[in-house]
Amino acid sequence: MQGFNKYYPPDYDGEKHKSLNSYRGKHALGDRARKLDKGILITRFELPFNIWCGTCNNHIGMGVRYNAEKKKIGTYYSTPIYSFRCKCHLCDGWFEIQTDPKNTRYVVVSGARQKDEEWNPEENGGFAIHDTEASATSVDPLTALEKSTDAQNHLTKVQVPRLESLQGLSDHYNDDPYARSSIVRKHFRTEKKSDAAKRAADDQLKGRYGLPETLKLLEDDVAARNEAREEWVKGRREFEAQSSIRKARLSSSAKPWPSANNLSSLRAKILDNTRRSSLMAKAKPPER
């Protein structure tokens, strides 16, 4: 395990020396602050793009790191402008790169030249990103109108919904959790009381009419009433249709009741048949 204890010499005075660095006459940053009296700090700098060294004309790839001399050379409004002076690892040449806060980029000042690999947005229907000055050439009004229309459509369909979703997400995570919890618990208690009252009313109705406890009653609302009315009308129509069919069958199968004339003629026929049968019985010879 690494030890973090420090050795304090016998002649060390905390009020006089304040720290061990001041006692030994060294800076806290060590060798990095050897040119701090000139306003230069040695820092680790990584190339932001591909360059060619101006001394040896060799290519140096993006991402190569150097021990650069960092120095503040000015400000852009309140943003400082820094200069990074590096020594080429392939030769003894020096090159200098500065920050450009105005255009949010790095610029090669001397000792090298940058490889131009930037994507031109104007060739793909966009706007210039680093063009801070107005163009001297005339702009086609139809092209300008098309670009402004596309930008407005992108703003309306993409950017505004995205900002609204981010704002909603921010409000969700930045709200007071106690207040939100109180609202949820209050709503839950209200629903719980209403559910308990409804359950008691349903149990009372089931007990009054002897309905099973597992029966689920519908909500007494307009939609349920309309649905029940429609079902009742439909059942009433079906019952009436079945009743009419049954009556028609009974009327077709029943025999018609004989009238008074039919009864007199029937009586006359019966009497005639009875008379004939009696005469035939008298005229018949006796059996031997």
d(C-alpha 38, C-alpha 83), whole Å: 13
pLDDT in tens, 84-139: 999 999 999 999 999 999 999 999 999 999 988 767 666 766 666 655 555 555 66
pLDDT (tens digit per residue) in 124-165: 666 666 555 555 556 677 777 777 888 888 888 999 999 999
Return the bridge partners of 68, or none. Answer: 43
Calpha distance 103→81 (Å, rounded):
12
Asked if residues 94 and 85 have their Cβ atoms less than 8 Å apart, the reply is yes
Q: 0.85 exceeded by the pTM? A: no
Rg (CA), the chain: 54
Q: Does residue 40 have a pLDDT over 70?
A: yes
Measured between alpha carbons, how far is 287 from 227 in angstroms, rounded to an integer? 87
* Per-residue tokens: 36: 């701090």
